[in-house]
């Protein structure tokens, strides 16, 4: 029974130790490595990497139990020599590109392998004999590590895409690597021996199914991919005609944890235990002897539920096969507090449902676990500071010797944030500008906190209070201060409101736009984003299709309305009265003078006569002046004539 393969980074790593199945290594959401003892069902060791938050653990792989001295060479005491011979090493790949080697015997970090990858490590696998370790990364490279020196021994480019899975053959001569294409490498020459194509998504599971050499067409291996409900079995043939898989096993969901008992001959069947993403366990048993056309169904399917009146499913995390065909080691519950159990399964039954009281099992394991957390002893005179809003005092717990007033204050319950929001009074601030700034900051902080509380408690009233705001700046700031753990639940809540209340679509889209602007990088890093946002995508797509039809209908209605308006306006124009309100006629000048004289009043007739007499006198004077001007001219002419006559004489 070989060591477990590295688990893909799409799921949380959870692996049983090889052979004895004594330990279960789990790396939960908080980035800490926890090793549980399957016999005592207690926490055996806990290790917190220095960068457990920024460089989380992406894959785990147990090393084979052997007595060789490994790790960077240093002088050891005699007491440590025996421990090194019994050491069980555990390899941890991280998102930062480093590989950590942890020793369960020492209970500490054995060594750190870094400098080989520029991207996150997706898979690690041990060599069955030599002290070598292989790792695959997002940088498309495979690195061969030498544990005796702690440095890279070899490095080569494996594929155009990221390397997501690795597996070494039982004889240690071949290496399987996979992104979307499975490649078989010769470890002596580091050259491609065979290629296998058939998966459309990233391969997450690789494991050799037989220990036979590839010379007699007896070498088989199993592969599984993300979002794929089939496990494919491939045969390595001498003639190279191995382009398609020979056998396939059907699953209910994509594989999450995988264990296999290899076959050493044609007469020995291969046993598989596959835990799917939906929390079910499928057991298979098959004799590998050439191709088989029909997909094989599991010989037994195991589910687990609690003991309530309306039973709820308990998800299975991992499973490991033992020497006894009926015995299986199960891990179920939560990654933070898993429950381990050895179960006898009757494979003659196709479907088995196990009922367990998970709370009782957890309480037993918690009592026996040695906790390192110490509860502080609080003195009666000490003051406890409770987190609250800025500028507001939290209730203080005081001793029994205080006054009655302090006792009343101590007995009062702490107000919720919603009650504090109602009682905020900013009238103390003198400046209106300062008050506006304080109010904006308080409102933003409280809205972010209220939004998180409403999402955790599913409180519709709190969510309505936050989502009813229309201020773009407030929406932008609130979403920017939203923690990453609440982004996806918030998007799901917005999707529900868009489905149930179409009238609120404009308001919900403002929040959704802010989320996409501020948290796109986080959403893009989620592995199951397509499934989680599929409902929102299909809803938007359906509404966009309807929008095109609605715009056509809107245009036709506009045409009809304009035609109706033009008809009404034409009817109104026909009813207009064309009779003139005013008529003006132009007459001749004589008639105008006559009419003007007639129009003069009698009182002004005398003045007109005097004006005419004055005009006649002025005309007479002008005539006399003209006569007097002509006389000198005549006299001048006569003088000129006399002068001319005298000159002639």
What is the rounded CA–CA span in Å between residue 317 and residue 226? 17
Highest mean pLDDT among 246-250, 373-377, 382-386, 389-393: 246-250
Nearest to 132 by CA among 118, 113, 115, 119: 113
Mean pLDDT, residues 273-301: 89
Least confident of 210-224, 460-474, 588-602: 588-602
3-state secondary structure 322-371: CCCCCEEEEEEECCCCEEEEEEECCCCCCEEEEECCHHHHHHHHHHHCCC
Mean pLDDT, residues 376-386: 61
Which string of b and e fits 190-211 if b means at least 16 CB within 10 Å?
Answer: eeebbebebbeebbbbbbbbbb
pLDDT over 50 at 377, yes or no: yes
Distances (CA, A) of 502 to 494, 497, 539, 540: 11, 8, 11, 12
Q: Which residue has the tokens 């308990």?
A: 314
Question: Residue 124 has which token pair?
Answer: 């690690």
Distances (CA, A) of 643 to 457, 631, 632, 637: 140, 19, 17, 10
Number of H helices, E strands in the chain: 14, 28
Q: Which residue has the tokens 């001749």?
A: 588
Where is 486: in which H helix or E strand? Answer: none
For helices 460-467 and 505-518, give the axis angle rounded to 10 degrees: 80
Nearest to 205 by CA among 254, 242, 262, 141: 254
Within 13 Å and on the Cβ side, how many CA atoms surround 135?
A: 36
Q: Which residues contact 155 (CB under 8 A, 6 or more apart)?
A: 116, 141, 142, 143, 144
CA torsion, points 161, 164, 169, 174, in degrees to nearest 10? 20
Name the pLDDT band for 496 (thresholds 50, 70, 90): confident
What is the rounded CA–CA span in Å between residue 238 and residue 260? 25
Where is 640: in which H helix or E strand? Answer: helix 605-648
Nearest to 11 by CA among 317, 274, 321, 273: 317
Q: Give bridge partners of residue 283 from the DSSP assignment.
A: 273, 300
DSSP 8-state code for residue 643: H
pLDDT over 60 at 438, yes or no: no
Q: Which residue has the tokens 């490498």?
A: 185
Could you tell me if 380 and 399 are in contact, meaning their C-beta atoms sit under 8 angstroms apart?
yes
Largest Cα–Cα separation, the chain: 181
Each residue of 316-357: pLDDT tens digit?
999 999 888 888 999 998 888 888 899 988 888 889 998 888
DSSP 8-state code for residue 194: E
What is the rounded CA–CA span in Å between residue 461 and residue 569? 52
Each residue of 53-102: pLDDT tens digit?
667 888 999 888 655 444 444 444 544 444 444 547 899 998 889 999 99
Order of strands, sheet of 300-305, starting from the edge strand that comes earlier in the sequence: 255-261, 270-276, 281-286, 300-305, 351-355
Q: Taking all residues of the chain, what is their mean pLDDT, rounded to a whole number?
A: 75
Which string of b and e fits 294-317 if b means at least 16 CB within 10 Å?
Answer: eeeebbbbbbbeeeeeeeeebbbb
Could you tell me if 4 and 61 are in contact, meaning their C-beta atoms sit under 8 angstroms apart?
yes
Could you tell me if 344 and 327 are in contact, meaning their C-beta atoms sit under 8 angstroms apart?
yes
Question: Residue 418 has which token pair?
Answer: 């919603």
For 144, phi then psi, to 5°, come to -100, 115
State pTM to two decimals: 0.55
Each residue of 35-58: pLDDT tens digit?
998 888 888 888 888 766 667 888
**Residue 215 confidence (pLDDT):** 60
What is the rounded CA–CA span in Å between residue 382 and residue 376? 12
pLDDT over 80 at 282, yes or no: yes
Where is 134: in which H helix or E strand? Answer: strand 132-137
**Residue 625 confidence (pLDDT):** 54
């Amino acid at each position: 029974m070989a060591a477990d393969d590295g688990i893909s980074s799409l799921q949380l790593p959870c692996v049983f130790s090889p052979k004895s199945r004594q330990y279960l290594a789990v790396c939960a959401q908080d980035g800490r490595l926890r090793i549980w003892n399957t016999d005592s069902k207690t926490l055996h060791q806990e290790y917190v990497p220095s960068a457990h938050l920024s460089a989380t653990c992406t894959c785990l792989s147990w090393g084979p139990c052997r007595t060789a001295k490994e790790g960077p060479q240093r002088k050891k005491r005699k007491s440590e020599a025996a421990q090194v011979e019994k050491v069980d090493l555990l390899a941890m790949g991280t998102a930062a590109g480093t590989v950590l080697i942890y020793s369960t015997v020492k209970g500490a970090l054995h060594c750190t392998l870094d400098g080989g990858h520029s991207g996150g490590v997706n898979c690690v696998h041990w060599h069955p004999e030599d002290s070598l370790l292989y790792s695959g990364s997002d940088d498309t490279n495979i690195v061969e590590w030498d544990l005796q020196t702690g440095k890279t021994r070899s490095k080569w480019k494996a594929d155009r895409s990221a390397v997501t899975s690795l597996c070494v053959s039982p004889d240690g001569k071949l290496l399987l690597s996979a992104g979307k294409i499975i490649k078989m490498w010769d470890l002596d020459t580091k050259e491609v021996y065979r290629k296998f194509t058939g998966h459309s998504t990233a391969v997450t599971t690789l494991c050799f199914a037989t220990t036979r050499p590839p010379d007699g067409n007896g070498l088989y291996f199993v592969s599984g991919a993300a979002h794929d409900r089939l496990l494919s079995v491939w045969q390595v043939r001498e003639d190279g005609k191995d382009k398609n898989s020979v056998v396939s096993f059907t699953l209910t969901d994509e594989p999450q944890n995988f264990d296999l008992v290899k076959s050493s001959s044609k007469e020995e069947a291969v046993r598989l235990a596959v835990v799917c993403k939906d929390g079910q366990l499928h057991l298979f048993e098959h004799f590998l002897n050439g191709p088989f056309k029909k997909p094989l169904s599991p010989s037994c399917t195991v589910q687990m539920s609690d003991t309530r009146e309306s039973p709820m499913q308990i998800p299975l995390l991992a499973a490991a096969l033992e020497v006894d065909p009926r015995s299986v080691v199960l891990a179920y519950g939560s990654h933070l507090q898993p429950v381990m159990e050895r179960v006898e399964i009757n494979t003659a039954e196709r479907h088995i449902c196990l009922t367990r009281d998970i709370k009782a099992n957890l309480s037993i394991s918690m009592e026996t676990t040695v906790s390192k957390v110490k509860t502080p002893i609080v003195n009666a005179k000490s003051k406890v500071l409770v987190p609250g809003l800025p500028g507001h005092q939290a209730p203080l717990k005081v001793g029994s010797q205080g006054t009655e007033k302090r006792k009343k204050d101590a007995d009062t319950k702490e107000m919720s944030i919603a009650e504090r929001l109602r009682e905020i009074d900013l009238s103390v601030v003198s400046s209106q500008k300062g008050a506006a700034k304080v109010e904006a900051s308080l409102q933003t902080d409280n809205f972010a906190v209220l939004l998180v509380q409403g999402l955790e408690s599913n409180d519709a009233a709190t969510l309505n209070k936050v989502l009813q705001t229309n201020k773009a700046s407030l929406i932008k700031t609130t979403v920017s201060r939203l923690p990453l753990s609440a982004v996806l639940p918030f998007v799901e809540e917005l999707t529900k409101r868009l489905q149930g209340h179409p009238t609120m679509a404009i308001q919900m889209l403002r929040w959704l736009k802010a989320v996409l602007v501020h948290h796109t990088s986080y959403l893009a890093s989620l592995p199951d984003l397509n499934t989680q946002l599929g409902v929102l995508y299909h809803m938007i797509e359906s509404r966009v299709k309807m929008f095109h039809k609605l715009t056509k209908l809107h245009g036709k209605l506009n045409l009809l309305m304009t035609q109706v308006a033009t008809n009404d306006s034409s009817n109104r124009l026909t009813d207009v009265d064309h009779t003139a309100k005013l008529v003006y006629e132009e007459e001749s000048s004589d008639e105008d003078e006559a009419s003007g004289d007639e129009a003069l009043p009698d009182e002004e007739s005398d003045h007109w006569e005097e004006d005419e007499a004055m005009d006649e006198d002025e005309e007479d004077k002008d005539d006399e002046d003209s006569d007097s001007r002509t006389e000198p001219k005549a006299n001048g002419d006569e003088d000129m004539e006399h002068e001319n006559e005298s000159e002639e004489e």
